[in-house]
A and B are shown apart, each in its own frame.
Chain A
Amino acid sequence: DVKVTQSSRYLVKRTGEKVFLECVQDMDHENMFWYRQDPGLGLRLIYFSYDVKMKEKGDIPEGYSVSREKKERFSLILESASTNQTSMYLCASSLRGYYGYTFGSGTRLTVV
Chain B
Amino acid sequence: GNSVTQMEGPVTLSEEAFLTINCTYTATGYPSLFWYVQYPGEGLQLLLKATKADDKGSNKGFEATYRKETTSFHLEKGSVQVSDSAVYFCALILYNNNDMRFGAGTRLTVKP
Contact = CB atoms under 8 A, between A and B. Distances in A.
Interface stretch (B61-69, B70-78, B89-97): B89-97
Given A43-B89, A98-B51, A100-B34, 10 more contacts: A42-B103, A42-B104, A97-B32, A97-B93, A97-B98, A98-B96, A101-B100, A102-B46, A103-B43, A104-B43
A48 interface: yes
Interface of B: 32, 34, 36, 41-46, 49, 51, 89, 93-100, 102-105
B43 A45 contact: no
Nearest to A44: B102
Of B44, B46, B99, the most chain A CB neighbours within 10 A belong to B44
Contacts of B98: 31, 48, 50, 56, 94, 97
5 cross-chain pairs, A with B, having the tightest CB-CB distances, nearest first = A103-B43, A98-B32, A42-B104, A103-B44, A97-B93
A106 B51 CA distance: 27
Contacts of A97: 32, 93-94, 96-100
Interface in A31-75: 31, 40-43, 45, 48, 50, 56
Contacts of B100: 97, 101
Contact of B43 (A31, A40, A90): A90
Interface in A67-102: 90, 92, 94, 96-98, 100-102
B76 to A, nearest CB: 20
A97 B99 CA distance: 8
B95 A98 contact: yes
Interface of A: 4, 6, 31, 40-43, 45, 48, 50, 56, 90, 92, 94, 96-98, 100-106
Contacts of B97: 97
A56 B103 CA distance: 22
